[in-house]
Amino acid sequence: MTLTYSEIMVRYGELSTKGKNRMRFINKLKHNIQDVLSIYPDVKVTADRDRGHVFLNGTDYAPVAESLKQIFGIQAFNPVYRLEKDVTVLKKAVQDIMTDIYQEGMTFKVSSKRADHSFELDSRELNQTLGGAVFEVLPNIQAQMKKPDINLKVEIRDEAAYISYEEIKGAGGLPVGTSGKGMLMLSGGIDSPVAGFLALKRGVDIEAVHFASPPYTSPGALKKAHDLTRKLTKFGGNIQFIEVPFTEIQEEIKEKAPEAYLMTLTRRFMMRITDRIREVRNGLVIINGESLGQVASQTLESMQAINAVTTTPVIRPVVTMDKLEIIDIAQEIDTFEISIQPFEDCCTIFAPDRPKTNPKIKNAEQYERRMDVEGLVERAVAGIMVTEITPVEEKQDQVDDLIDDLL
We find the least distance from the C-beta atom of residue 369 to Mg ion, in angstroms, to be: 28
Residue 290 interacts with, from ligand ATP, Mg ion, none (CB under 5-8 Å by kind) = ligand ATP
The answer to whether 191 contacts ligand ATP (rule: CB under 6 A) is yes
Closest to 366 in 3D by CA, of 301, 276, 305, 297? 305
Whole-angstrom distance, CA of residue 297 vs CA of residue 319: 13
Residue 298 interacts with, from ligand ATP, Mg ion, none (CB under 5-8 Å by kind) = ligand ATP
Q: Which is nearer to ligand ATP, 87 or 295 (CB)?
A: 295
Q: For the residues of 129-162, what is the DSSP string, one character each? A: HHHHHHHHH-TTPEE-SSS-SEEEEEEE-SS-EE
Residue 9 dihedral angles phi and psi, to the nearest 5° = -95, 130
Residue 200 interacts with, from Mg ion, ligand ATP, none (CB under 5-8 Å by kind) = none
Rg (alpha carbons) of the chain, rounded to whole number: 27
Residue 192 interacts with, from ligand ATP, Mg ion, none (CB under 5-8 Å by kind) = ligand ATP
Residue list 341-370, contact with ligand ATP (CB under 6 A): 345-347
Whole-angstrom distance, CA of residue 188 vs CA of residue 370: 30
We find the least distance from the C-beta atom of residue 325 to ligand ATP, in angstroms, to be: 13
Residue nearest to ligand ATP (CB): 189
Residue 360, Cβ neighbours under 10 Å: how many?
Answer: 14
Q: Which is nearer to ligand ATP, 57 or 341 (CB)?
A: 341
Where do the H-state alpha helices sit in 143-294?
A: 191-201, 219-232, 247-256, 262-280
Residue list 172-201, contact with Mg ion (CB under 5 A): 187, 189
We find the least distance from the C-beta atom of residue 197 to ligand ATP, in angstroms, to be: 12
We find the least distance from the C-beta atom of residue 347 to Mg ion, in angstroms, to be: 6
The answer to whether 187 contacts ligand ATP (rule: CB under 6 A) is yes
Whether the CB-CB separation of 287 and 207 falls below 8 Å is answered with: no
We find the least distance from the C-beta atom of residue 199 to ligand ATP, in angstroms, to be: 11
Residue 354, Cβ neighbours under 10 Å: how many?
Answer: 11
Helix (H, G, I), strand (E, B) or coil at 290: coil
Residue list 269-298, contact with ligand ATP (CB under 6 A): 270, 288-291, 294-295, 297-298
Confirm or deny that 265 is annotated as ligand binding. no
**Up-side HSE of residue 215: CA atoms within 13 Å toward CB?**
0
Counting residues that bind ligand ATP (by CB under 6 A) gives 22
In sequence order, what are the residues at sequence separation of 6 or more whose Cβ sits closer than 8 angstroms to the Cβ of residue 259? 352, 353, 354
We find the least distance from the C-beta atom of residue 380 to Mg ion, in angstroms, to be: 19
Which one of residues 170, 173, 177, 189 is an interface residue with ligand ATP (CB under 6 A)? 189
Cross-strand pairs, 279: none
Residues forming the site for ligand ATP (CB under 6 A): 185-187, 189-192, 209-211, 270, 288-291, 294-295, 297-298, 345-347
Write out the binding residues for ATP: 185-186, 210-211, 267, 289, 298
Residues forming the site for Mg ion (CB under 5 A): 187, 189
